[in-house]
């Protein structure tokens, strides 16, 4: 199946390649992909026409989003890609009160406060001002 056999993602209006690049292993050299291997995978996927990238704020403690942001920025591909990320787990890199030692009910989940906090962190790590598809991870 050619990656350039694009189709519409539901009724979203987004035009995506038939296979998405999942990046859970990016930035996890112990069991996944080193930074260099991640770059090679990203470049091969995009060079062959892939345009649908999936990540999450908790993948490699935020490192997956950081790497993707760098790869996308270096090649100036942001307008060509459909970028999806996820939120919802406690323990995401930018949780409120993460280092206070006190319980925090906003430290994960799908409440408004956590959604905004997680979104701001993902935008910063990805180096973009918008995300095309934002998923509730849990």
Q: What is the pLDDT of residue 96?
A: 45
Domain that holds residue 120: 7-136
Question: Average pLDDT, stretch 55-63?
Answer: 94
Kindly state whether residue 45 falls inside one of the protein's structural domains. yes
- H helices within the chain, ranges in order? 35-47, 63-75, 112-126
Kindly state whether residue 69 falls inside one of the protein's structural domains. yes
Model confidence at 114: pLDDT above 50: yes
pTM of the full structure:
0.89
Nearest-angstrom CA–CA distance, 17 and 4: 6
Kindly state whether residue 114 falls inside one of the protein's structural domains. yes
Kindly state whether residue 2 falls inside one of the protein's structural domains. no
Q: Which residues are known to be catalytic?
A: 59
The CATH number that applies at residue 93 is 3.20.20.100
Looking at the 3D structure of the chain, how many domains does it have?
1
Report the chain's mean pLDDT, rounded to a whole number. Answer: 90
Nearest-angstrom CA–CA distance, 76 and 72: 6
Nearest-angstrom CA–CA distance, 63 and 26: 7
Kindly state whether residue 1 falls inside one of the protein's structural domains. no
Secondary structure class of 85 (helix, strand, coil): strand
Summarize pLDDT for 86-108 with one digit per residue, the tens: 998 876 555 544 556 677 777 77
CB 54 within 8 A of CB 25: no
The percent of the chain in helix, strand and coil, each rounded to the nearest 5, is: 35, 15, 50
Kindly state whether residue 26 falls inside one of the protein's structural domains. yes
């Amino acid at each position: 199946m050619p990656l350039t056999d694009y189709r519409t993602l539901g009724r979203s209006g987004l035009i995506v390649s038939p296979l998405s690049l999942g990046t859970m292993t990016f930035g996890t050299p112990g069991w996944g992909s080193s930074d260099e291997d991640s770059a090679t995978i990203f470049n091969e996927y995009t060079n062959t026409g892939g345009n649908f990238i999936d990540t999450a704020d908790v993948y490699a403690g935020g490192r997956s989003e950081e790497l993707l942001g760098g790869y996308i920025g270096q090649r100036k591909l942001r307008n060509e890609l459909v970028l999806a990320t996820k939120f919802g787990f406690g323990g995401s890199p930018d949780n409120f009160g993460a280092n206070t030692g006190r319980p925090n009910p906003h430290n994960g989940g799908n409440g408004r406060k956590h959604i905004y906090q997680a979104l701001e962190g993902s935008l910063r790590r990805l180096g973009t001002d918008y995300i095309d598809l934002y998923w509730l991870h849990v």
